[in-house]
A and B are shown apart, each in its own frame.
Chain A
Amino acid sequence: MRLRDIPITAWIGIFGIALALFCALFAPFIAPYGETEVVGAVWQEADAQFFFGLDNLGRDILSRLIYGTRTTLTVALCATVISFSLGIILSFIAAVSGGLIDAIFSRFNDLMMSIPTLIFALVVLAVLPQHLIVLILVMAILDSTRVYRLGRAVALDVAVMEFVEAAKLRGEGTAWIIFREILPNTLSPLLAEFGLRFAFAILFLSTLSFLGLGIQPPAADWGGMVKDNKDGIIFGVAAALVPGSAIAALAICVNLVVDWLLKRTSSLKGGRGDA
Chain B
Amino acid sequence: MSNTSEAGRQPGLRFRERFPLLSLITERLVLSVILLFAVSVLIFGGVEALPGDFATTYLGQSATPQAVANIRAELGLDKPVVTRYFEWLGGALQGDFGKSWASRNSVSEQVGKRLGNSLFLAGFAAIIAVPLAICLGMLSVHFRNRMPDKIINVVSLAAISLPEFFIGYLLILYFAVNFGIATFPATVYEDMGFLERIQTIALPTATLVLVVLAHMMRMTRAAILSVMSSAYMETAELKGLSAGRAIIKHAAPNALAPIINVVALNLAYLVVGVVVVEVVFVYPGMGQYMVDAVTVRDMPVVQACGLIFAAVYILLNMVADILAIVANPRLRHPR
Asked if A31 is at the interface of the complex by the 8 Å CB criterion, the answer is no
Contact residue among B184, B272, B297 (Cβ-Cβ distance under 8 Å from A116): B272
Asked if B264 is at the interface of the complex by the 8 Å CB criterion, the answer is no
Q: With A126-B302, A236-B177, A245-B166 as given contacts, are A252 and B161 in contact (CB-CB < 8 Å)? A: yes
How near does chain A come to B155, taking the closest CB pair, in angstroms? 11
Is there an interface contact between A238 and B272, defined as CB atoms closer than 8 Å?
A: no
Is there an interface contact between A244 and B166, defined as CB atoms closer than 8 Å?
A: yes
The stretch from B16-24, B43-51, B74-82, B87-95 touching chain A is B43-51
Is there an interface contact between B50 and A114, defined as CB atoms closer than 8 Å?
A: no
* Residue in A closest to B47 when the chains form the complex, CB atoms: A127
Q: With A207-B276, A236-B177 as given contacts, are A241 and B170 in contact (CB-CB < 8 Å)? A: yes
Asked if B144 is at the interface of the complex by the 8 Å CB criterion, the answer is yes
Asked if A124 is at the interface of the complex by the 8 Å CB criterion, the answer is yes
The stretch from A44-52, A165-173, A267-275 touching chain B is A267-275
Asked if B129 is at the interface of the complex by the 8 Å CB criterion, the answer is no
How near does chain A come to B266, taking the closest CB pair, in angstroms? 12
* Residue in B closest to A111 when the chains form the complex, CB atoms: B38
Give the contacts of B124-177 with A (CB-CB under 8 A).
144-145, 154, 157-158, 160-166, 169-170, 172-173, 177
Q: Interface size on B (CB < 8 Å)?
A: 59
* Residue in A closest to B276 when the chains form the complex, CB atoms: A207
Is there an interface contact between B46 and A199, defined as CB atoms closer than 8 Å?
A: no
Q: Which residues of A contact B299 (CB under 8 A)?
A: 126-127
Q: Which residues of A contact B222 (CB under 8 A)?
A: 275
Q: Which residues of B contact A252 (CB under 8 A)?
A: 157-158, 161
Is there an interface contact between B313 and A212, defined as CB atoms closer than 8 Å?
A: no
Is there an interface contact between A251 and B317, defined as CB atoms closer than 8 Å?
A: no
Q: Which residues of B contact A114 (CB under 8 A)?
A: 35, 39, 310, 313-314, 317
Give the contacts of A218-270 with B (CB-CB under 8 A).
223, 226, 230, 233-236, 238, 240-241, 244-245, 247-248, 251-252, 254-256, 259
Is there an interface contact between A255 and B157, defined as CB atoms closer than 8 Å?
A: yes
Is there an interface contact between A244 and B173, defined as CB atoms closer than 8 Å?
A: no
Give the contacts of B260-307 with A (CB-CB under 8 A).
268, 271-272, 275-276, 279-280, 290-291, 293-295, 297-299, 302-303, 305-306
CA distance A237 to B306 in the complex (A): 35
Asked if B5 is at the interface of the complex by the 8 Å CB criterion, the answer is no
Asked if A129 is at the interface of the complex by the 8 Å CB criterion, the answer is yes
CA distance A74 to B163 in the complex (A): 19
Asked if B309 is at the interface of the complex by the 8 Å CB criterion, the answer is yes
Give the contacts of B166-194 with A (CB-CB under 8 A).
166, 169-170, 172-173, 177-178, 184
Give the contacts of A120-179 with B (CB-CB under 8 A).
120, 122-129
CA distance A255 to B259 in the complex (A): 23
Asked if B42 is at the interface of the complex by the 8 Å CB criterion, the answer is yes
Asked if B11 is at the interface of the complex by the 8 Å CB criterion, the answer is no
CA distance A161 to B190 in the complex (A): 62
Q: With A111-B38, A255-B161 as given contacts, are A118 and B272 in contact (CB-CB < 8 Å)? A: yes
* Residue in A closest to B44 when the chains form the complex, CB atoms: A123
Contact-residue bracket for chain A: 35 or more
The contact string, 1 if C-beta is below 8 Å from chain B, for chain A 16-29, is 00000000000000
Is there an interface contact between B50 and A124, defined as CB atoms closer than 8 Å?
A: yes
* Residue in A closest to B162 when the chains form the complex, CB atoms: A248
Contact residue among A235, A245, A255, A272 (Cβ-Cβ distance under 8 Å from B160): A255
How near does chain B come to A237, taking the closest CB pair, in angstroms? 9
CA distance A119 to B164 in the complex (A): 15
Q: Which residues of B contact A251 (CB under 8 A)?
A: 161-163
SS class, residues of chain B in contact with chain A: helix
CA distance A120 to B309 in the complex (A): 10
Is there an interface contact between A111 and B276, defined as CB atoms closer than 8 Å?
A: no
Asked if B52 is at the interface of the complex by the 8 Å CB criterion, the answer is yes
Is there an interface contact between A119 and B309, defined as CB atoms closer than 8 Å?
A: yes
CA distance A118 to B306 in the complex (A): 10
* Residue in B closest to A122 when the chains form the complex, CB atoms: B294
Asked if A6 is at the interface of the complex by the 8 Å CB criterion, the answer is no
CA distance A274 to B226 in the complex (A): 9
* Residue in A closest to B160 when the chains form the complex, CB atoms: A255
Is there an interface contact between A119 and B157, defined as CB atoms closer than 8 Å?
A: no
Is there an interface contact between A207 and B165, defined as CB atoms closer than 8 Å?
A: yes
Asked if A92 is at the interface of the complex by the 8 Å CB criterion, the answer is no
* Residue in A closest to B164 when the chains form the complex, CB atoms: A207
Is there an interface contact between B46 and A124, defined as CB atoms closer than 8 Å?
A: yes
CA distance A267 to B47 in the complex (A): 47
Contact residue among B158, B170, B229, B272 (Cβ-Cβ distance under 8 Å from A271): B229
Contact residue among B38, B229, B280, B297 (Cβ-Cβ distance under 8 Å from A272): B229
Most buried by B among A211, A234, A271: A211
How near does chain B come to A191, taking the closest CB pair, in angstroms? 18
How near does chain A come to B135, taking the closest CB pair, in angstroms? 20
Asked if B225 is at the interface of the complex by the 8 Å CB criterion, the answer is yes
* Residue in B closest to A246 when the chains form the complex, CB atoms: B166
Asked if A190 is at the interface of the complex by the 8 Å CB criterion, the answer is no
Q: List 22 A-B contacts (CB under 8 A).
A: A110-B35, A111-B38, A115-B39, A115-B43, A116-B268, A116-B313, A117-B272, A119-B290, A123-B47, A127-B46, A127-B299, A206-B163, A213-B291, A233-B173, A233-B177, A234-B177, A236-B173, A236-B177, A244-B165, A247-B163, A254-B161, A274-B145
Interface, chain A (partner B; CB < 8 A): 9, 110-111, 114-120, 122-129, 199, 203, 206-207, 210-213, 223, 226, 230, 233-236, 238, 240-241, 244-245, 247-248, 251-252, 254-256, 259, 271-272, 274-275
